[in-house]
Amino acid sequence: MKLLRLLFIAILFVGCAPIKVNYDFDKTVDFSKYKTYQYYGDMKTGLSQLDTKRLLDAIDTKMTSLGFTVSENPDFLIDIKSVEFQGAPRQTVGVGLGGGGRNAGGGVSIGIPVGGTPMSRQITIDFVDEKGKGLFWQAVSESSFKQNDKPEKREERLNAIVEKVFEKLSPKS
């Protein structure tokens, strides 16, 4: 029973792989002057059309909760780019041979990957003030994902990414 419980906890932690986010911003910008936004019209997100819609819906919901509104004459524009890549195998099994005798020795060792290589996605979100400062805020998230996840799981993951990305939207002085 304990083994089953430990296995369940391990699966839970692997399924909830962390979302890493790096932020950068122009510290001379007054974030309080920005109230309205819009997306670039020719934005190429690198996501499927359905995942792009899921991501934009999640961003719109979060931005509304933060007091921003979509506008045809926005204070700033949002650009989104993403890249998918394969990570390194997480686990390997080592196999070794060795021998020696009479003041001589030798050995051979190799690492054999166990399991598949995880897929990761990097999503970059830029806030651009085209009337003034240019790029003034950027968040780059990196997280694992599965290409064959069900739509509900994809939406859940993208919502989690948006929550994590917008945790530190307006930097404190």
Q: Is 172 domain-assigned?
A: no
CA-wise closest residue to 119 among 161, 86, 157, 82: 86
- 1's CB contacts (< 8 A; 6+ apart) are none
Residue-wise pLDDT tens digits, 68-78:
999 999 999 99
| Residue 136 within a domain | yes
Determine, yes or no, domain membership for 92.
Answer: no
Domain around 78? 16-83+119-167
pLDDT tens-digit readout, 139-168: 999 988 777 889 899 899 999 999 999 988
The answer as to whether 129 is a domain residue is yes
Residue 65 domain flag: yes
Q: Could you state, in chain order, the average pLDDT of each consecutive group of 10 residues for the chain (173 residues)?
A: 48 60 90 92 89 94 94 94 75 60 63 65 92 90 84 91 86 48
Give the residue among 1, 33, 20 at the shortest CA–CA distance from 136. 33
Residue 145 domain flag? yes
Quick check: is 162 in a domain?
yes
CATH number of the domain at 162, please.
3.30.160.670
Q: How many domains does the chain have?
A: 1
- What tokens appear for 90 in the block? 């997480």
Give all strands (DSSP E) within 91-133, no chain letters.
91-101, 104-114, 119-129
